[in-house]
């Protein structure tokens, strides 16, 4: 009987394998049928198992999941199927989760080992660790999503940061926190964890143990130095060092913190905040590669914050500037009601060129101006300011509105602005039963008068725009306004408002103003503005200014007076 025994055969296989496969670049292990004991495992298999199980011995309580999330029962694992059923299993990808929290992805194949009598005596399993591959894929997917979040919502950056924190969990971390450094304080703007109960715990912790801006480690240190921190493993000693409060220490221990990264949110040499990634349940140990990723993410987030802050600042400056160009409140003028609406194009991201003004002259008369300066931004604002002040000053000396506009033309031509503007200036003088108005128009759409009897008249004769030509043709047009008459002045943002190829136009304006002119001046101006706004769903390209002046009934005028 020269036949080797089963165990002798396995011994031979083991010896042979040990020599051939010990240093292979994938895992190989052999197990015995019956006892299901591992007889041999090469170096790769041992290392993978140690890393994932975080134990040298037999790992207890691990679970496996297929790519679609379906759990593997113990007898479904490839090695068991080969050992018990003699099945050959080729490349099954299994996500493994250990009781310790560690996760990994393995590709497993297995096949039976039979003796010469075709009896099942054992099985061989091969494994390949796909954990890093899958993680790299997820990281790429994460960065793509993060980039989208960082660029889409640049105005509300706190919302953006919260979304970023949620995106990082659980792919990069079990915990993600984002803190901002504001006025010497650390302010948390976002915490994410897969388990909402733990977020409560984090908030509780934050309340009881607010971050110390002078702390030697963690967020405080990163904010101070602008340098990131990597703590591959968090020992208990570190927790003890972090806080003297025993309750807090206990909470921190209960959280099972394993590994941590704190990266600065830095842009343009300034540290605006910090991004904290903590691995706990997953027991992922962060590496230098993870640190680089976190630093990159922190830098990108900081750029978005910095852009959003600049944008906000610009809007604030613009609205302050705009306020200086448009009167806060129009003066109350005896015998008339004045209403105004001003709508800048865009959402306050630039200063518009439309303006209006009204002021008292002598003997119960007053002047009213509306205009539109070409262009936007500071240069337009400067000419707007020049126009308002020049008209007010000129109105004191020149009784003719046309002369006032000619003086403004001289001033604009001699200025360095090289911008032009259109304007209407008119005076209203109390007369028997109503007012006399003298209107001068410079390159602007004439005003519109809705008479008490319903007819519509034009106020003003066309005249040359200002700031372009030395000699301008501007004429005074004098009319009488009766009680109940309403005068509308507007800028071209009204008539030139577009919806596709359609334009709002003068005809539509006439109809809307006719219907609105019996309302109080403010409401009438608002009605016109609403109609212009509703005309198109696209944002207005140009500023819109609307001024309505109503001549009050005499008895009402007296009451107001």
Partner 1 sequence: MNKLETATTTSAGRATVVLTGTLDISTIDQALHELTEATAGASALVIDLRKIDFIDSSGLGVIAQTAQQASETGFTVSVVPNEQARRLMEITGIASHVHIENRDA
Q: Where on the chain is the footprint of partner 1 (CB under 8 A)?
A: 372, 374-376, 418, 420, 422, 442-445, 462-465, 468-469, 472-473, 492, 496, 498, 501, 503, 541-542
Nearer CB in complex with partner 1: 395/472: 472
- How far is residue 275's CA from residue 190's CA, in Å, rounded to a whole number? 10
Sheet holding 270-279: strands in order across? 185-193, 175-182, 270-279, 259-267, 229-231
Q: How far is the CB of 381 from partner 1 (least distance, A)?
A: 15
Number of H-type helices and E-type strands within the chain: 16, 24
Sheet holding 336-343: strands in order across? 336-343, 544-551, 486-490, 447-450, 456-459
Nearer CB in complex with partner 1: 306/495: 495
Nearest to 317 by CA among 353, 344, 350: 350
Collapsing DSSP states into helix, strand and coil, what is residue 221? helix
Q: How far is the CB of 390 from partner 1 (least distance, A)?
A: 19
Q: How far is the CB of 492 from partner 1 (least distance, A)?
A: 5
E-strand spans in 183-306? 185-193, 229-231, 259-267, 270-279
Q: How far is the CB of 355 from partner 1 (least distance, A)?
A: 15
Nearer CB in complex with partner 1: 430/462: 462
Nearer CB in complex with partner 1: 451/498: 498
Nearest to 201 by CA among 174, 223, 220, 182: 174
Are 447 and 384 a contacting pair, CB within 8 Å? Answer: no
Nearer CB in complex with partner 1: 243/495: 495
Q: How far is the CB of 464 from partner 1 (least distance, A)?
A: 3
Are 496 and 504 a contacting pair, CB within 8 Å? Answer: yes
Distance of CA 184 to CAs 157, 190, 224, Å? Answer: 20, 18, 10
Q: How far is the CB of 469 from partner 1 (least distance, A)?
A: 5
- How far is residue 422's CA from residue 424's CA, in Å, rounded to a whole number? 7
Nearer CB in complex with partner 1: 216/377: 377
Are 199 and 212 a contacting pair, CB within 8 Å? Answer: no
Q: How far is the CB of 546 from partner 1 (least distance, A)?
A: 17
- How far is residue 469's CA from residue 18's CA, in Å, rounded to a whole number? 98
Q: How far is the CB of 47 from partner 1 (least distance, A)?
A: 60
Cβ count near 435 (within 10 Å): 23
Nearer CB in complex with partner 1: 190/352: 352
Q: How far is the CB of 427 from partner 1 (least distance, A)?
A: 21
Nearer CB in complex with partner 1: 29/442: 442
Nearer CB in complex with partner 1: 169/373: 373
Cβ count near 177 (within 10 Å): 23
């Amino acid at each position: 009987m020269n036949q080797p025994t089963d165990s002798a055969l396995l011994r031979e296989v083991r010896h042979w394998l040990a020599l051939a496969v010990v240093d292979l670049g994938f895992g190989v292990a052999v197990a015995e049928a019956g006892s299901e004991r591992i007889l041999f495992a090469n170096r790769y298999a041992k290392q993978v198992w140690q890393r994932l199980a975080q134990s040298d011995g037999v790992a207890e309580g691990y679970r496996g999941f297929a790519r679609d999330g379906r759990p593997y029962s113990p007898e479904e694992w490839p090695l068991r199927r080969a050992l018990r059923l003699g099945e050959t299993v080729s490349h099954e990808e299994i996500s493994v989760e250990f009781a310790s929290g560690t996760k990994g992805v393995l590709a497993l194949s297995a096949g039976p080992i039979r003796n010469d009598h075709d009896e099942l005596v054992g099985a061989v399993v091969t494994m390949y660790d796909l954990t890093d591959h899958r993680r790299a894929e997820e990281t790429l997917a994460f960065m793509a999503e993060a980039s989208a979040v960082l660029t889409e919502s640049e105005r509300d950056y706190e919302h953006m940061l919260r979304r970023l924190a949620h995106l990082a969990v659980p792919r990069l971390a079990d915990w993600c926190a984002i803190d901002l450094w504001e006025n010497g304080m650390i302010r948390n703007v976002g915490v994410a964890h897969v388990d909402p109960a733990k977020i409560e715990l984090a908030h509780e912790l934050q309340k009881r143990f607010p971050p110390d801006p002078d702390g030697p480690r963690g967020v405080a240190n990163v904010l101070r130095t602008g340098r990131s921190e990597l703590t591959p493993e968090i020992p208990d000693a570190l927790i003890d060092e972090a806080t003297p409060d025993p309750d807090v220490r206990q909470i921190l221990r209960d959280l099972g913190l394993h590994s941590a990264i704190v990266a600065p949110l830095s842009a343009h040499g300034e540290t605006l905040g910090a991004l904290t990634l903590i691995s706990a349940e997953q027991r992922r140990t962060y590496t230098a590669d993870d640190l680089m990723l976190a630093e990159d993410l922190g830098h990108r987030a900081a750029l978005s914050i910095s852009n959003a802050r600049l944008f906000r600042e610009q809007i604030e400056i613009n609205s302050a500037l705009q306020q200086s160009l448009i009167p806060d409140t129009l003066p109350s003028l005896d015998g008339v009601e004045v209403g105004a609406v001003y709508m800048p194009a865009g959402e306050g991201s630039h200063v518009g060129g439309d303006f209006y003004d009204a002021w008292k002259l002598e003997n119960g008369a007053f002047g009213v101006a509306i205009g539109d300066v070409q262009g936007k931004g500071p240069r337009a604002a400067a000419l707007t300011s020049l126009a308002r002040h020049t008209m007010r000053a000129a109105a004191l000396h020149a009784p003719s509105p046309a002369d006032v506009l000619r003086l403004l033309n001289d001033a604009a031509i001699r200025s360095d602005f090289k911008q032009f503007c259109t304007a209407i200036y008119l005076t209203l003088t109390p007369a028997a039963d109503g007012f006399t108005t003298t209107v001068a128009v410079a390159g602007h759409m004439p005003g519109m008068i809705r008479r008490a009897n319903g007819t519509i008249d034009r106020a003003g004769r066309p005249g040359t725009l200002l700031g372009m030509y030395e000699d301008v043709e501007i004429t005074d047009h004098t009319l009488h306004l009766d009680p109940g008459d309403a005068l509308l002045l507007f800028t071209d943002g009204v008539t030139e408002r577009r919806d596709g190829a359609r334009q709002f136009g003068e005809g539509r304006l006439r109809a809307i103003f006719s219907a609105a002119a019996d309302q109080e001046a403010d409401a009438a101006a608002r009605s016109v503005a609403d109609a212009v706004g509703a005309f198109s769903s696209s944002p207005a390209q140009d500023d819109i200014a609307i001024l309505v002046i109503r001549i009050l009934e005499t008895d009402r005028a007296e009451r107001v007076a």
